[in-house]
Structure 1
């Protein structure tokens, strides 16, 4: 296992495999994709609260980590970009039943994401706080709660997750309920 400070140089494809079992690797991926998430929020500006849309983007990133399969040949960044954008668009549709914004399918590459140093102070601070909140939520979970969340979010049933972790279905449910309480508490503290 790598030291947390080494994650900065790890390629996405390797880091995503580590993030499926390691919270520090997940935090590194979240930090790596924060600029892109906020760039997408800006594209949908005015259609919903920026913080809510950013959280949907981060959930899309976590979903991408859970579902990424390197055998399919796509790079993780391409897959993550699509998952993040689709999560945001789905949230907009659910909340307001809006049509797709013009150009919503035209996702800029990560190289075009705005540098946080060029943002006004209030916008940069908002991004930092949101990213810190997501990282805090991930870091508050126990190892078992993190594993259960990753497995359930990747689409496994309670039974499949229990079998994979060699625990009972009730233990899976208990871990998931504890994780949800911790995440709600962490989200409430950040407000």
Structure 2
């Protein structure tokens, strides 16, 4: 990186730490490629790229708050470590979600309507097999987060409750439900 760019980043950091909103926005914009590059290292994780980038941005803002130029590290170096740590923390939290109580959840199969009443054992078997195929197809199309959001939503949880259980914002839950609707539409076309 050129000395000019390094100086520009350091001066943006200084202005941003003084409360300059424009400097904060400019710094976030300048550092976004770095955040995306770090997030791409975790692209094969259970979190989606947008979620990884969002967590990285949180790490960037934490770096801005904690950065002390007197310690001798360049801001980019310090921020890179904070971004990486924030993403890794989010991944650990996501993997820890296994402790979410499942006694209130209802299997997807219980909500899927059978196309008519089965007349025989063979019809029962075919209907159950159809539900199982649909359920598997749906699980393959949805990300782990989307699967979890769908299960909780079908179980009657409100957006805010889902967000709390998954440690996400209500907007992230709403976005996940929008993606689920799109994928369901494509699945049934």
TM-score interval, smaller chain: 0.3 to 0.5
Question: TM-score w.r.t. structure 1 length?
Answer: 0.46
Kindly name which structure, 1 or 2, has the bigger radius of gyration based on alpha carbons: 2
Question: TM-score w.r.t. structure 2 length?
Answer: 0.46
